[in-house]
Amino acid sequence: MAKSSPKDIHELMQRAHDLAGIRLADIAADNQISVPENLRRDKGWVGQLIESELGALAGSKPQPDFIHLGVELKTIPIDCKGKPLETTYVTVAPLVNIQGLSWQDSVVFHKLQHVLWVPVEGERSIPVGERRIGTPILWQPNALQAQQLQQDWEEIMELIALGKVDKITARHGEVLQLRPKAANSHTLTESIAEDGSIQLSNPRGFYLKIEFTQQILNNAFG
């Protein structure tokens, strides 16, 4: 049975809090979804499971998961100490037609305005179904975080605009990084070349570094 969409943020948070401590196998059973042996071929399984349970709108849209609430849902794998195990994908990076694009008009800015973080045990030693959901965190970037995100975004976008996308590595940026985001390394999309013409490059996505998301979790539980 598909879950209804929460009517307001309060209901969303109440439902998210109710999931704390529960095993993924129980959430899966409640949604009539089978639990995979591992996530090797089901990398988005946990995220989609929680989306289903919380009544997020399914499908691939560059919109918030709870568009009527303006809230983006992110599950985040953590170790036994509560530290994120992976970086967090934010959105695909625009590589062409970016002249005049400002931080406030960017997808990264909008997606990170309001995020519901749902920590989930992610260590591979724990069977997927036995992994438990943690305490949810409703987050909005503070002044420092907003400044860090904007600076990284602007630096990366400037390099893309200058036709240096293929020279950008994941080491650029303090809290936000640019990395491949595609089915494989052979996938191509249009980008800006150094002479200003159009070339083909591997699609990229913006990711939040682990230290950044770790601070978000620490601030919430500190």
Partner DNA sequence: CCTTGATCATGG
Partner DNA sequence: CCATGATCAAGG
Query: Nearest CA to 39 among 31, 53, 30, 28?
Result: 28
Residue closer to DNA by CB (options 18, 79) is: 79
- Should residue 98 be labelled a site residue for DNA when binding is judged by CB under 7 A? no
CB-wise, 131 or 150, nearer to DNA?
131
Q: Closer to DNA at the Cβ: 54 or 150?
A: 54
Among 75, 55, 72, residue whose Cα is nearest residue 121: 75
Min CB(78)–DNA separation in Å: 9
Sign of the dihedral defined by the CA atoms of residues 18, 45, 75, 133, in that order: positive
For DNA, which stretch binds (CB under 7 A), given 4-12, 21-29, 67-75, 146-154?
67-75
109-130 core/surface letters (b: 16 or more CB in 10 A; e: else): bbbbebbbbbbbbbeeeeebbe
Looking at 2, 32, 59, 99, which residue binds DNA (CB under 7 A)? 59
From the list 4, 14, 34, 38, which residue makes contact with DNA (rule: CB under 7 A)?
A: 38
Q: Tell me which of 3, 9, 31, 91 binds DNA, using CB under 7 A.
A: 91
Q: Which of these segments, 2-10, 14-22, 39-47, 143-151, binds DNA (CB under 7 A)?
A: 39-47
Enumerate binding residues for DNA (CB under 7 A): 38-44, 46-48, 50-51, 59-62, 65, 72-77, 85-87, 89, 91-92, 107, 111, 120, 122, 124, 169-171, 177, 179-190, 202-203, 205, 209-211
